[in-house]
Each structure stands twice: as structure tokens, then as C-alpha cells.
Chain A
Amino acid sequence: MTVVVAAAEVVLVAIVVHGVATTSAVGGGPLPMHYVEQANWIPAIGASYHVGVDGVSAWILALNAGVFLLGALVVPRLTTERIKLFCGLMLLAEAATTGVLISLDLLLFYLFWEGMLIPLYFLLAFYGNENRGRATLKFVIYTVAGSLLMLLAILYLHFQALAGGHNTFDLEVLLQSPLPAQAGVALPFTTIQTLSPAMFAFLAFALAFAIKLPIVPFHTWLPDLYESAPTPTLVFFAGVVSKMGAYGFIRFGITLFSGPVHQLQPLLVALAILSILYGAMMALSQTDLKRIVAYASISHLGFIALGIFSLNQNGIDGAVIQILNHGIIIAGLFLVVGVVEARTGTRDIRELGGLQKRMPWLYVFFLVITLGALGLPGTNGFVGEVTIMLGAFQYFWLPAVLAGLGVLIASWYMLRMHQGMMHGPVRAVTEKVQDLRFREGLVLAPLAVLIILLGVYPHPVGSVAAQAVPGYVRLADTSQQPVVMPTSAHIATLTEVER
């Protein structure tokens, strides 16, 4: 049943993606959209039901639908009890993530963003190992704290627009009414001239997205949670939910707050690099398979963040492509770990070995996924990472070099993981394991095919993204914004700072 619903969703999304790729966008706003729907919701405060899809969200939607379908397929094999409830909650989560991806009204977006937590909370709290309660609470409180601040910033934007005569939460209208250059407080020892209300609003949004993504140092909920959650949950959690942060940065962060983003760009890029290197180093030092994948995930998400914060065509293109790629790769990795754990009863890399001889099919699929994860040319990981590094290089040479270092370490920890599991002598726990069953192969095969297909022929993804990304780049570029005359109070503060 769930599989049918999830499959139907995949078909619908496929139609949408096809539509986005073949038709031209409507709307004269700064971000042209497809399939726009708009209806009144809370007229008193100007919130509306306004949804639409563009080249950035189309493929993420496809990823969303596909990964949830995968999750639905593996549920019966990898969870044992209360499957109906699990499936119901999973579909609720899918509804919420879909809502996040299509909302063009800030209040509606927030509702889905925060509402996503309810099914996720129950999924994480009901299913998983004995540490799940603590890990789940940590995750929920982290994210709630972040997103409540975002709510505050959304309200700030609303009342700014209200002051300008628009009673609205609508993204398109808000994008056209630039934030006033209000006076703020000078931040000592930095290039940041003022801590204006707009800056605070951006920081609130950025915190919510950075926690969800997560960017180091807001990542501490992730390894514990990934370790305690069961595989089907992980497939869509790591595959889709963590991408919502990246999507949020692209759709809302860099477009609504071009000024603050540019002021903070060095810091944001530095944090992205920190995520890449820290995640990679941590992945290198773990022995638990799930923790290796968890930290690898942090490192890969750092790449996506780096692409976004490059604030240019290549970077954001690469980020969109990499969101899709990483979703495919991480889902595959967690599936492999889940299968191995179910067969051998352990996730400790030191106890595993020799699976190559016992599970040849798994070996093949896992090899492809590993190569994708370490970004070998010919796989999709390479396409995304190279595009992102191009973008980063356009910004400044150093981040690109450091990101390259991250790729280097990635091949180290991925091969260490691969060899630890697959090669070497057959151990006690791997003595009598069965190879993949047909259904498991059916789940892994499309992932492996996609990894190679998108590595060789990335054009469909790239072209759809490329038609929408220029709009975002233009919005993020402060030099093309309408010039806002500074108020006299602002000038007074600035002169005072200079003194």
C-alpha cells in the first residue's frame, strides 16, 4: 500500500519534472515558477497558500519522492514491528518535505518545515536502538531552537513588508521589497560594518538551516541520531531531510538577504570548509560503519554548503546537482550498512572482512556507491564536486584547494571502509552470510545505475537547474539590487563608527 502511494508520488513528480524541463516558467517575479497555485489562507495577516516548482526544487522533489519510495521498499525487511504505523508516519514525513519544497509563502513554508518534525520525532522515538530517546530529544530541541528564531525573522520580514504597504508573507513580494538599510551596532574586529536587523534576520534563518544541514559546529546531534536510527529511517532522513537545510539556504537564505550574505560570505565559506575537513577527519577515525557514513555525510554536505556560499552560477548549479547526488549515494551507503548489519549482527569494521567472497552482488553495488562517494570521474559524485569546486575557485582559490583536500581524504576513508568490509580473510561473523536477496538487489540496483548514469550524462539535471539558477545568482548579487538610500541615522552611525 505504502509502496503504491510512494510510487504514485514518484510518477506524479516525474510528470512535474518533465513539465519543468520542457515548458517555460510563468510569472514576472524575480524567481519564475511552474505549476503555481495560489489561494487565500489567513487573509487577516496576508498568509496565502502559494506553491510552485522551479528548476532548483524540481530535482530535489524527484529525489524526495524516489528516496521515500526506497524507504518504503526496505521497510518490511529492516524493521520488524508496527510496520503500518511506520509507513503512515513515513508518508506524513514525505508530505511535509514535499510541502517545504513547494511553498512560496514564508508562513506556509515554516509550517511544513516545523511540521516535518512531528512525524520524524515519532519515527525516531519509536524505532531504533536503546539510545534513541536521548538522541531524538537532542535533535528535536536543536532544530526547534533554530527554527523558532527563524519564525521571529519571518515575522520581521512580514512587518517590514507591512510597513511598505504589503500585508504579506509571500516570497515573491518580499523579494521585491528590499530590506531597509537600518542602522545597527558595529561588530568589533571584523569587516562587518553593522549588525543591522536584516543581519539578525539572516542569522536566524542561517541558524535554522545550518542546524538542519548540518554545518559544523551545529552538527553534534547528527552522529548520535544516525547511530540509533534504523535503516529505512536513515535512508530518507539522510537522503532528503538533511537536504532541506541546503534547499532553504538557496531558496530563502541567499535571495532574501543578499546584503548580509555577502558580508558574511568569508565566514560561511570557512564553516563549509570546516565541515568538509572535520567530517572527513572524523570519518577516518571511526570504526562503527554508521558513524563513518554519518561523518562522511557531514563532509559531503559541507561541499553542498560551499557551492551555495560561492554565490555564483557554478557553485549553486553544483550544489543543486550534488543535493541530488548525495541523496542517492547516502541512501545507498546506509542501505548497504543496513544489509551488512542485518546479516552479520555487527557494524564494527574491525570484526568484518571477506564479504567480497560471500556477497559478490553486494560487493558490486557497494563498489559503485563507494566510487560515487569518493567522487571518481565517471560517477555522479565527481560531476557535483567538480562543479562546486569551480564555483568555489571563482570566489577564491583557497577554499577550492581545501575542498580538494577533502576529496582526497574522502577516498581514503571510503576505501578504508570498503576494504575493511569486503577484502581480507573471512571472519567468524561473515562466515555464513547470504548474498543479497532479489528485493534488496532491486533497491540497490537503480541507485548504482543512477550513480553511473548521472556521472556520464548529467545533462538532464544540470540543464533544469541551470535554467533557474541565474535568477538566484542575480538576487544574491548585491550590485544588481535596487539601491537603497541610507537614512540619515544610518549615516550618523557610520560616521560615528569611523571615528
Chain B
Amino acid sequence: MNALAALPLATATPGWHDLVGLLPEVIVAGGFLALMLLDLVVPPARRTWLAVFSGAVLVGALAVSVWGWYDAGSAGRSVFFGAFAYDRLAEFGNCVILVTSLLTVVISPGYLDRRRLHHGEYYSLVMAATVGMMLLAGATSLMVIFLAIELLSISLYILSGFSRQEERSQEAAVKYLLLGSFASAFLLFGMALVYGETGHTQLAQIAEAMSRSLPVDPLLVGGIILMFVGLAFKVSAAPFHAWTPDVYQGAPTSVTTFMSVATKVAAFIVIIRLFDDAFASYYSHWSAVVITVAILSMVVGNFAALTQNSIKRMLAYSGIAQAGYILIGVAVGVGTALGVQGALYYLAAYAFTNLGAFAVVTVMSGRGEDLDRYDQLRGLWHRRPYVAAALAFFLLSLAGFPFTAGFMGKFLVFAAAIQAHNVALALWGIGTSAVSVFYYLRVTLIMFQRPKEDAPAYEWPRTGRAGSAVLLVTAAGTLVLGIFVGLVLTVATMAQAGTLPGR
């Protein structure tokens, strides 16, 4: 009995039926190809058209994803012989990723113009990364997972080094590439072990083989943990976070905006699919690792953020800490449905909040160097009151104050931890949250100080219509997710309920 014979449909050909499940990805991939051609004919002064075109493609894909949410139904179905899931979890991920990309594309032209980085490839690369992320959100085969991760990573490596004149940007790209390849190798090695022990690449069959291999197969445990290491790198969880501050700081801010949110969403969706679903029968063997990484991320992220003087680095460490909070939901997600629901809610909340925070930095970055040091924010409130208020709101949400999305996200994952009788995990989360209040509020205090000698510390550009729109949307999203909780929680519950392969 070889492995191929175990595939029931190995001889069949994929049909339209299968392609429907990939429709949003196909649309964005088509947009990616079209953009490369368009770049050749659009005059350099009119590159904003490329942004408009990408935006239109993303909106189209978003609409199809929303339609797919209903079409896939509560059970979902597996397409391409179990390589890809057409279920609500995937569509949920698609929607969040597409909204993130869309908002990134909207703020990019102004920023790129100011920084003299407005090249056509930018949009193609963003689209390519988006395809990779969407594939990752739906992947149910080890091969697709790996390909999707490579697609998104390679696009992001290039985007990180997009500012070719700037040494820091180049350094960020190289660092990201080297450490990212290292992480990919871990992931691949883990996949090899899992494949070697189960004989399958499809998650459904791996899960089945896994439950038969009980009580325990040590090589399988090793494979699972190595895969987690590779993915933990992508979500920048400690201790695999070392690249994060440097890359976030060095990359052009609009790129940071995009990758700090979308990558994390995609990687977390696949983590949830793998660990809370496919690998659920090995829960007792991997849970300790996930819990340790969650605690380390919360502690390292929050404490390292305390001493930063650069807003991008601070947000990078904050992102590490947020990954820790989401991992709480993942770590207890096998025992309680609330864990995965909370993690999904947190992802949506994090997408709006963190995107908003980075969008402020992007929109306020003028010619010359990026807005980065804390003292460049001094007096922002007096010159750009709405932008400063928006940033303050996002920071309050990241800190987890009520009436913001961040609070409900934290609340739900802590609730899940307590429901799973892991009070210690919730206590770690709560303790580190209290620490985090300090550094978030410190930034707001600086914004509200008076500028020295009436000369602002930094030439903030005009916000512009596109920038205002993005800030408005993200702020509204943060507020809605903080108050009308039932709405998204229902969506998260439905996404969690129909997860493929299904345990």
C-alpha cells in the first residue's frame, strides 16, 4: 500500500467545482499579473492609477470572499483533493487579509510619492504577498502551506528592501531573508518528519494517521514542534522574534503596516487550522510548547517595548506581545471553542487597531526620513489633532482599554484560558497587560506635549483624503469591534465551527 493509493481521487481531474473555492485567490493573482503588464504602459507620473486598479481588484476579491462565506456554508468543503479548504475559516481570513491589503494600497501612493519610492512593482508585490496569505489561510496540505508561505515571504523580502537608497531598508531585507529562510527550513524539516511518520501531506489524512499513532510517536511530536517553530517565526512570537524590530523599523512604513498585520493574520489562521484542528489529538504533546511561547512573547514583547524610543520598534515589540495574547487562544483552543473564537476575534481587532497605528505613522511620514523617534511626535496634538486623537485611540486599544476592539480581544482569550482552567496563563496575560499600559500611554503623553519654541519637531505632511479615509475606517472598526461585540463574535463562532479538515 503506497501513499498515493490512499488518495481516493488521485486519478480525477480538478473541475470548476474546485476552482470556485479558489476564486478570490485567482482574482488577486490575475490582478498581480495584470499589474506587471500595466506598469509597462502607465506613465511614471500616473502611478496612482496602479493603486486604483489594485484597489478595484482587491474590492472584487473581497466581494467574492464575502459571497464565498455564504456559498461555502457552515460545513465547508475540501477542494483540489484535500489540498485546499473552502470553508468559513478561510473566507474569514481572506476578508481580513483583503481589507488589510486594500487599506495599505489606499495609503501607499501618498507615502511612496513623498519618499520617492513610487515604482510600479510595489503594487504587484503587495498583490503577490496577498495571494500567498490567502492561500495560506485556506491551505490544508503541507505542500500548499509551504508554497504559500514562500510566496508571501519572498514578496515581503523584496518589499522590505524597497527603499534601495536606504541602508537600513537593505539591512532589513537581508536580515529578514536570512532569518526567514532559516525558519522556512525548520518548517520544511517539521513537515518532512510529519510526512515521514504519517505518509500523507493532506491534513485530513495526517489527522487520521495521528489518532491511530497514539499513545505517542516521538518523531511526530518533533515534526509538529518544528513546524510550530517555523510558523512562530512568521507571527513573530518570542523567542523567534529577533528579526521583528529591525525589519519593522527598516522597511518602508507602508510595507511595515501591511506585513505587521496581514502576515500575522494568515499565519495565525494556519496555526489554528493545524494545531487546534489537525493536530488536536496530540494536544497534550504540543500544548506546553505553545503555552511557553505565548508567555515568553507576552513577557519579552511588553518588557522590551518599555525602553524603546522609536515608535516603529515599540509597535514591533507590541506586535510580539499581541502574538502572545493570540497564542493564549490557540493554546487552549482544543479544549474550549472559545479559545479559537477569541483568537479569531483578536485577529480582526488587531488588524484594525495595528493597521491604524501604523497607518498614522505612514500618513505622517514626510519627505526625507520616516517618522520614527518619539520626539518627532511631540506636539502632534496641537498641529494635527484628529490624527493624534486617532493614534491615541489605537494605542488605547492595543493596551486593552474598554470600548475598544483590543479590550474585547483580550477579554475573550483570557476568558478562554480560565474556562480551560489555565488561570496561570490568564494571569501572565493580565500582568503583562498592566505593564503595557505604561509604554502605550507614554507615546500619547509625548503627542500631547507642547512643541518646543513653537517649531514642530518634524514636518508632518498634510493628511490627505486617502489617509483620512483609512484612519477613519480603522478607527471606526476598532470602535465597532469594541462595542458591538455580538456581530464579529458570531462570525468568529461560525468560522470556528466549520473548520476543515475537521476533527
Interface residues on B, range: 20 to 34
CA of A114 to CA of B399 in the docked complex: distance in angstroms? 12
Say yes or no: A140 contacts B415, CB within 8 Å: no
Tell which of B411, B418, B485 touches A156, judged by Cβ atoms closer than 8 Å: B418
Closest residue of chain A to B432, judged by CB?
A: A148
On chain A, the residues within 8 Å of B444 by CB distance are 125
On chain B, the residues within 8 Å of A159 by CB distance are 415, 418-419
* A128-170 interface bits toward B, Cβ cutoff 8 Å, 1 = contact, 0 = none: 0000010011001100110011011001101100100000000
Binds A, one of B55-63, B121-129, B151-159, B423-431: B423-431
Say yes or no: B418 contacts A144, CB within 8 Å: no
Q: Residue A397 at the B interface, CB < 8 A?
A: no
Q: How far is the CB of B336 from chain A (nearest CB, A)?
A: 10
Q: How far is the CB of A49 from chain B (nearest CB, A)?
A: 11
Say yes or no: B437 contacts A141, CB within 8 Å: yes
On chain A, the residues within 8 Å of B433 by CB distance are 144, 148
Say yes or no: A118 contacts B403, CB within 8 Å: yes
CA of A155 to CA of B485 in the docked complex: distance in angstroms? 17
Say yes or no: B448 contacts A158, CB within 8 Å: no
On chain B, the residues within 8 Å of A149 by CB distance are 430
Q: How far is the CB of B408 from chain A (nearest CB, A)?
A: 9
Closest residue of chain B to A153, judged by CB?
A: B418
Within 8 A of A (CB), among B55-104: none
CA of A53 to CA of B441 in the docked complex: distance in angstroms? 34
Say yes or no: B414 contacts A152, CB within 8 Å: yes
Closest residue of chain A to B417, judged by CB?
A: A155
Say yes or no: B403 contacts A151, CB within 8 Å: no
On chain B, the residues within 8 Å of A402 by CB distance are none
Closest residue of chain B to A126, judged by CB?
A: B448
- Identify which of A43, A136, A148, A152 gathers the most chain B CB atoms within 10 Å of its CB: A148
Given the interface contacts A111-B403, A152-B414, does A41 sit within 8 Å of B396 by beta carbon? Answer: no
Tell which of A42, A121, A151 touches B441, judged by Cβ atoms closer than 8 Å: A121
Tell which of B396, B434, B489 touches A42, judged by Cβ atoms closer than 8 Å: B489
CA of A155 to CA of B412 in the docked complex: distance in angstroms? 10
Closest residue of chain B to A133, judged by CB?
A: B445
Within 8 A of B (CB), among A16-54: 40-45, 47
Tell which of B338, B403, B423 touches A152, judged by Cβ atoms closer than 8 Å: B423
Say yes or no: A141 contacts B438, CB within 8 Å: yes
Q: Residue B213 at the A interface, CB < 8 A?
A: no
Say yes or no: A41 contacts B485, CB within 8 Å: yes
Within 8 A of B (CB), among A96-130: 107, 110-112, 114-115, 117-118, 121-122, 125-126
* B390-411 interface bits toward A, Cβ cutoff 8 Å, 1 = contact, 0 = none: 0010001000011100010001
Q: How far is the CB of A53 from chain B (nearest CB, A)?
A: 22
On chain B, the residues within 8 Å of A145 by CB distance are 431, 434
Say yes or no: B414 contacts A155, CB within 8 Å: yes
Say yes or no: B437 contacts A125, CB within 8 Å: no
Q: Residue B309 at the A interface, CB < 8 A?
A: no
Q: Residue B468 at the A interface, CB < 8 A?
A: no
A-B pair count, CB < 8 Å, reads 81
Tell which of B423, B427, B434 touches A144, judged by Cβ atoms closer than 8 Å: B434
On chain B, the residues within 8 Å of A121 by CB distance are 441
Interface residues on A, range: 35 or more
Tell which of B418, B441, B486 touches A41, judged by Cβ atoms closer than 8 Å: B486
CA of A133 to CA of B443 in the docked complex: distance in angstroms? 11
Say yes or no: B445 contacts A45, CB within 8 Å: no
CA of A44 to CA of B494 in the docked complex: distance in angstroms? 12
Given the interface contacts A115-B401, A141-B434, does A152 sit within 8 Å of B427 by beta carbon? Answer: yes
Closest residue of chain A to B482, judged by CB?
A: A111
Q: Residue B493 at the A interface, CB < 8 A?
A: yes
On chain B, the residues within 8 Å of A118 by CB distance are 396, 401-403
Q: How far is the CB of B265 from chain A (nearest CB, A)?
A: 22
Say yes or no: A110 contacts B437, CB within 8 Å: no
Q: How far is the CB of A99 from chain B (nearest CB, A)?
A: 10
Within 8 A of A (CB), among B472-492: 485-486, 489-490
Tell which of B401, B438, B490 touches A114, judged by Cβ atoms closer than 8 Å: B401
Given the interface contacts A114-B402, A114-B407, A117-B401, does A151 sit within 8 Å of B430 by beta carbon? Answer: yes
Q: How far is the CB of B284 from chain A (nearest CB, A)?
A: 22
Given the interface contacts A114-B401, A151-B411, does A140 sit within 8 Å of B441 by beta carbon? Answer: yes
On chain A, the residues within 8 Å of B403 by CB distance are 111, 115, 118
CA of A133 to CA of B438 in the docked complex: distance in angstroms? 11
Say yes or no: A155 contacts B402, CB within 8 Å: no
CA of A149 to CA of B401 in the docked complex: distance in angstroms? 14
Say yes or no: B437 contacts A140, CB within 8 Å: yes
On chain A, the residues within 8 Å of B448 by CB distance are 122, 125-126
Closest residue of chain B to A197, judged by CB?
A: B423
On chain B, the residues within 8 Å of A42 by CB distance are 485-486, 489
Q: How far is the CB of B302 from chain A (nearest CB, A)?
A: 12
Given the interface contacts A140-B437, A152-B418, does A44 sit within 8 Å of B489 by beta carbon? Answer: yes
Q: How far is the CB of A105 from chain B (nearest CB, A)?
A: 13
On chain A, the residues within 8 Å of B434 by CB distance are 141, 144-145, 148
CA of A155 to CA of B411 in the docked complex: distance in angstroms? 9
CA of A42 to CA of B441 in the docked complex: distance in angstroms? 29
Q: Residue B462 at the A interface, CB < 8 A?
A: no
Q: How far is the CB of B251 from chain A (nearest CB, A)?
A: 31
Given the interface contacts A137-B442, A144-B434, A148-B434, does A155 sit within 8 Å of B490 by beta carbon? Answer: no
CA of A43 to CA of B486 in the docked complex: distance in angstroms? 7
Q: How far is the CB of A151 from chain B (nearest CB, A)?
A: 7
On chain B, the residues within 8 Å of A156 by CB distance are 418, 423
On chain B, the residues within 8 Å of A140 by CB distance are 437, 441
Say yes or no: A137 contacts B486, CB within 8 Å: no
Q: How far is the CB of B249 from chain A (nearest CB, A)?
A: 25
Q: How far is the CB of B295 from chain A (nearest CB, A)?
A: 16
Say yes or no: A151 contacts B445, CB within 8 Å: no
Q: How far is the CB of A116 from chain B (nearest CB, A)?
A: 9
Say yes or no: A152 contacts B430, CB within 8 Å: yes
CA of A115 to CA of B407 in the docked complex: distance in angstroms? 10
Q: How far is the CB of B416 from chain A (nearest CB, A)?
A: 10
CA of A122 to CA of B392 in the docked complex: distance in angstroms? 10
Closest residue of chain A to B493, judged by CB?
A: A44
Q: How far is the CB of B363 from chain A (nearest CB, A)?
A: 22
- Identify which of A40, A110, A111, A158 gathers the most chain B CB atoms within 10 Å of its CB: A111
Closest residue of chain A to B408, judged by CB?
A: A42
On chain A, the residues within 8 Å of B490 by CB distance are 44
Say yes or no: B437 contacts A144, CB within 8 Å: yes
CA of A148 to CA of B434 in the docked complex: distance in angstroms? 8
- Identify which of B407, B433, B434, B485 gathers the most chain A CB atoms within 10 Å of its CB: B434
Say yes or no: B415 contacts A45, CB within 8 Å: yes
On chain B, the residues within 8 Å of A41 by CB distance are 485-486
Tell which of A122, A126, A148 touches B430, judged by Cβ atoms closer than 8 Å: A148
On chain A, the residues within 8 Å of B419 by CB distance are 159, 162
Given the interface contacts A152-B427, A155-B418, does A44 sit within 8 Å of B411 by beta carbon? Answer: no
CA of A118 to CA of B490 in the docked complex: distance in angstroms? 28
Closest residue of chain A to B381, judged by CB?
A: A126
CA of A152 to CA of B445 in the docked complex: distance in angstroms? 29
- Identify which of B402, B403, B442 gathers the most chain A CB atoms within 10 Å of its CB: B402
Say yes or no: B401 contacts A158, CB within 8 Å: no
Tell which of A115, A125, A152 touches B426, judged by Cβ atoms closer than 8 Å: A152
On chain B, the residues within 8 Å of A44 by CB distance are 486, 489-490, 493
CA of A47 to CA of B418 in the docked complex: distance in angstroms? 17
Say yes or no: B445 contacts A155, CB within 8 Å: no
* A218-244 interface bits toward B, Cβ cutoff 8 Å, 1 = contact, 0 = none: 000000000000000000000000000
CA of A149 to CA of B428 in the docked complex: distance in angstroms? 11
Q: How far is the CB of A179 from chain B (nearest CB, A)?
A: 15
Q: Give 3 nearest A-B pairs by CB, closest first.
A: A145-B434, A115-B402, A111-B402
Give 5 A-B contacts (CB < 8 Å), ordered by A residue: A40-B486, A41-B486, A42-B485, A111-B407, A125-B448
Contacts A118-B401, A137-B445, A144-B437 known; 20 new A-B pairs at CB < 8 A: A45-B338, A110-B402, A111-B407, A112-B402, A115-B403, A118-B396, A118-B403, A121-B441, A122-B448, A125-B445, A133-B445, A137-B438, A137-B441, A145-B434, A148-B430, A148-B434, A149-B430, A155-B418, A156-B423, A159-B419
